[in-house]
């Protein structure tokens, strides 16, 4: 098999990422040398490759589905929104500029060439490249400058399948409308459709599929059923609304309750997925102070806008609630931007240009934002366990080495003075931990030791399971996606599409004609 395919979607979060990962796993299991690709990704969930390049987290997981180490070519353009109007543009893994929507338009020709060159390199190294689109190809106001959907498909002559989420409703209208809004040249590359997240009796759906085939002249390549418990690394925090709910019962003393503050510009929230994989750990995303009351551990996650999100914490009363927890000796973990918020002061002349800002003051540290972003894959030790992780930040944290006198805002056992203890690259003072490292909780032995310590501090009887493997769980989920493709898609037709491209003579629907 030799060729490429673009997986587009009727909307954001229609299932493009998981369908792409599933096709990648299906092909890899057949012995095909396959790689993922997404030309342009807008996401605050990112990952650092082995050579220090920043790419979208979804493409890192898709690379795992292929059995590959991720590279910058798999996601050559990454947009990281810092506000509603401005984004950091990361090109081939390195920050290039912070721009607004109009300024970004001026970069499109240059970036399109970068994307096509990356795709060409991948196609020269692998038998098949499975490309993921962005948003919807029917965003016709953006079509002239498009480099992620039909613009890429035209440049590389890629056949396209369109994924629709039937769980949202209106899937037939969205599929037909997506195709009809494209111009004739773009429609000629759209070979057919995939229905995603179907629940119920397939025979009830079949008449609609027959009508869609008749109206469009295109194949339906598969109907993928709803799969309970499947939660893969996602790109958009809006997908948190569809996250599997936390366990209904969280009152037993053997349960550990974790509240993750859903910041407005939350980033790398997949850091907590490993916690949710632990039996007896209940993870919830929260937005109000009252939701922290029964939590055994509160996590302040990463943020693309540390100073702005800290102001939001204060405006919602969450900042006071977090400080009150610390005074009572109740566990708090800050990761990256969340760690920065726990410091005494933050000087930011780079990201927000706010200058000197007072932090929450729960850790004896100060933060200064540097113009150059730190991108690395550090390895260290905590609780006697080896920890590998990755770093993505402009804010540099300096821990004050002098003892902190008591009483302090942070309660802990004993009297006199207390120095902050090292914790990975960061520090711990009493019940408050902080680190800049993402992905640390994916290290099984460290995660278990950390949770056991949290349970002790929180006064819970929780004991981590001794055999939970997060990497094995992720592999099982990728295999489940491969199984979905193999069992519920017309893989023969899919293979012919990848090999031969879009069929000739496909019907053009109005008004695209």
Q: Is 66 a catalytic residue?
A: no
The pLDDT assigned to 366 comes to 96
pLDDT at 192: 98
Q: What is the pTM of this model?
A: 0.91
User: Which pLDDT score, from 0 to 100, does residue 415 have?
Assistant: 40
Tens digit of each residue's pLDDT (9 = 90 or more) over 341-386: 999 999 999 888 899 999 999 999 999 999 999 999 999 999 999 9
Read off the pLDDT of each residue in 295-318 and give the average, rounded to a whole number.
97
Predicted pLDDT of residue 162: 98
* pLDDT-above-90 percentage for the chain: 85
Mean pLDDT of 458-462: 94
Domains, the chain, ordered by start: 3-35+58-73+116-232+474-500 (3.40.50.300), 255-462 (3.40.50.880)
Q: Are 385 and 363 in contact (CB under 8 A)?
A: no
Tens of pLDDT along 41-77?
Answer: 999 999 999 999 999 999 999 999 999 999 999 999 9
Q: For residue 512, what pLDDT band results from cuts at 50, 70 and 90?
A: confident
Query: Region 165-183: what's the mean pLDDT?
Result: 96
User: From the candidates 66, 131, 427, 438, which is the catalytic residue?
Assistant: 438
- Helices 306-316 + 318-327 axis angle, to 10: 80
Please pick, among 24, 66, 131, 336, the residue that the annotation labels catalytic: 336
What pLDDT, on the 0 to 100 scale, is given for residue 101?
80
Q: Which residue has the higher pLDDT, 201 or 125?
A: 125
Which of 9-13, 276-280, 404-408, 451-455 shows the lowest mean pLDDT across its residues? 404-408
CA distance linking residue 42 with residue 84, whole number of Å: 12
- The answer to whether residues 258 and 299 touch, using CB atoms and an 8 Å cutoff, is yes
Bridge-partner residues for 3, per DSSP?
128
Tokens 């996650």 correspond to: 301
Alpha helices in 30-162 (DSSP H): 57-66, 101-105, 108-125, 150-156
Contact 359, 310 (CB under 8 A): yes
């Amino acid at each position: 098999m030799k060729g490429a395919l673009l997986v587009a979607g009727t909307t954001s979060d229609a299932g493009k990422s998981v369908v792409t990962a599933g096709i990648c796993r299906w092909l890899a299991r057949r012995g095909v040398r396959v790689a993922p690709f997404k030309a342009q990704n807008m996401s605050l969930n990112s990952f650092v490759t082995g050579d220090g390049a920043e790419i979208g987290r979804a493409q890192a997981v898709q690379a795992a589905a292929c059995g590959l180490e991720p590279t910058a070519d798999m996601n050559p353009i990454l947009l990281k929104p810092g506000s509603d109007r401005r984004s950091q543009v990361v090109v081939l893994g390195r920050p290039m500029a912070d721009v607004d929507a109009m300024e970004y338009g001026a970069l499109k020709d240059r970036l399109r060439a970068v994307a096509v060159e990356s795709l060409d390199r991948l196609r020269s190294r692998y038998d098949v490249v499975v490309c993921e689109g962005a948003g919807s190809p029917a965003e016709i106001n953006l079509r002239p400058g498009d480099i992620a959907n039909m613009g890429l498909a035209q440049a590389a002559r890629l056949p396209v399948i369109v994924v629709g989420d039937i769980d949202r409703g209106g899937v037939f209208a969205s599929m037909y409308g997506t195709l009809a809004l494209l111009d004739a040249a773009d429609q000629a590359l759209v070979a057919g459709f995939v229905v995603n997240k179907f629940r119920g009796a397939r025979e009830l759906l079949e008449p609609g599929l027959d009508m869609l085939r008749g109206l469009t002249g295109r194949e339906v390549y598969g109907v993928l059923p709803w799969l309970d418990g499947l939660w893969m690394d996602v790109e958009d925090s809006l997908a948190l609304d569809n996250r599997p709910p936390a366990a209904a019962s969280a009152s037993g003393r053997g349960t550990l309750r974790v509240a993750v503050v859903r910041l407005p510009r939350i980033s790398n929230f997949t850091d907590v997925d490993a916690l949710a994989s632990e039996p007896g750990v209940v993870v919830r995303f929260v937005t109000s102070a009252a939701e922290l009351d029964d939590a055994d551990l509160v996590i302040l996650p990463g943020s693309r806008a540390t100073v702005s999100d800290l102001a939001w914490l204060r405006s919602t009363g969450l900042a006071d609630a977090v400080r009150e927890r610390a005074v009572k000796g109740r566990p708090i973990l800050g990761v990256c931007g969340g760690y920065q918020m726990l410091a005494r002061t933050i000087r930011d002349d780079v990201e927000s240009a706010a200058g000197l800002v007072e932090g929450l003051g729960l850790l004896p540290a100060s933060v200064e934002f540097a113009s150059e972003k730190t991108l690395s894959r550090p390895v260290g030790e905590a609780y006697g366990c080896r920890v590998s992780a990755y770093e993505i930040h402009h804010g540099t944290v300096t821990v004050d080495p002098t003892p902190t006198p008591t009483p302090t805002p942070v309660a802990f056992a004993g009297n006199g003075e207390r120095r902050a203890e090292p914790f990975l690259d960061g520090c711990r003072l009493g019940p408050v931990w902080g680190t800049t490292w993402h992905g640390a909780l994916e290290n099984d032995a460290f995660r278990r030791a950390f949770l056991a310590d949290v349970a002790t501090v929180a006064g819970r009887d929780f004991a981590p399971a001794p055999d939970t493997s997060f990497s094995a769980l992720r592999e099982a989920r990728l295999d489940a996606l491969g199984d979905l493709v193999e069992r519920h898609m017309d893989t023969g037709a899919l293979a012919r599409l990848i090999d031969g491209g879009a069929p000739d003579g496909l019907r053009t629907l109005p008004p695209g004609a």
